[in-house]
Amino acid sequence: MRRPSTIAIDGPAASGKSTVGCLLAERLGYLYFDTGVMYRAVTWAALGRGIAIEDEAAVTALARQLKIEVMRPTVDDGRQYTVLADGQDVTWDLRRPEVDRSVSPVSAYPGVRAALTIQQRRIGRKGRVVMVGRDIGTVVLPNADLKIYLDATVEERVERRYREVVSRGEPADYERVRDSVRRRDQIDSSRPLAPLRAAPDAVVIDTTPLSVEQVLERVLALVDGR
Ligand code: CDP
């Protein structure tokens, strides 16, 4: 059996998509592409330019013109990749709480999605790629060779995100992290366009009781048709 060349991984906030997706791509020698960073980059740029998040027209115009580049890490500081927005390194800024707060409203705008989806498809078409997001299996790459949907209980995901923030040495407030994850899930799954959901042909993995290694092992088994 031929190895899947385009692999889509979707799932809610902090379900382990980025960790598993990055490790999987490394193992296979594929490109790892986290589409969440594109929505985050538009959000960060809007906040930085004083554009109101509610101003759909202005945010959409920004998404159309902002040059987002994702490349191999340029600094050895634990990052999975480097993200440039109009040439500026914004990799860590994209993880800030104010971006978390505003990214779901931004990504619900149809014009923003259209602009970013085009760029994501261009990357996906080349194959040998692990693409991670919310709508990869359903909208961006509906013909992906393998679709995986990673899930976990909200309690477990909040715990993971909280530990992640703490490990970066940032001030972390458990309740805040919980509210932010819940709110994002709620907006992402209820938006009319490209809502968060598993594609009918996706393999759903409940990662709640599993370690990263165990999830990776399951995914590798699927890749190898085991
Ligand atoms: O890492 P985490 O799951 O917390 O978030 P992310 O994958 O970086 O995505 C951030 C936000 O971007 C999500 O909450 C969605 O609102 C949006 N997003 C999207 O709408 N479609 C995608 N394909 C990827 C992200």
pLDDT at 65 over 90: yes
Q: Are 128 and 5 in contact (CB under 8 A)?
A: yes
d(Cα 52, Cα 38) in Å, to the nearest integer? Answer: 18
- Taking the centre of ligand 1 as the mean of its atom positions, its distance from the CA of residue 196, in whole angstroms, is 9
Strands of the sheet containing 88-89, edge to edge, are 68-71, 82-85, 88-89
pLDDT confidence band for 161 (50 / 70 / 90):
very high
pTM of the model: 0.95
Nearest CA among 127, 129, 157, 144 for reference residue 199: 144
- Give the per-residue pLDDT at 128: 97
% of the chain with per-residue pLDDT over 90: 95
Average pLDDT over every residue of 205-226: 96
Closest CA to ligand 1's atom 6: 36
Average pLDDT over every residue of 77-93: 95
Q: Write out residues with Cβ below 6 Å of ligand 1.
A: 13-14, 18, 35-36, 39-40, 103-104, 107, 133-136, 184, 188
> What's the Cα-to-Cα distance from 33 to each of 26, 72, 85, 119, rounded to whole Å?
12, 10, 16, 11
Pull the structure tokens for residue 104. 């779901």
Closest CA to ligand 1's atom 5: 13
Tokens 């970013």, residue? 116
Closest CA to ligand 1's atom 13: 104
Residues 6 or more apart in contact with residue 88 via CB below 8 angstroms: none
pLDDT confidence band for 1 (50 / 70 / 90):
low
pLDDT at 140 over 80: yes
Angle between helices 36-48 and 110-125 (to 10 degrees): 140
- Give the per-residue pLDDT at 226: 82
Nearest CA among 145, 147, 114 for reference residue 132: 147
Closest CA to ligand 1's atom 10: 36
Average pLDDT over every residue of 78-104: 95
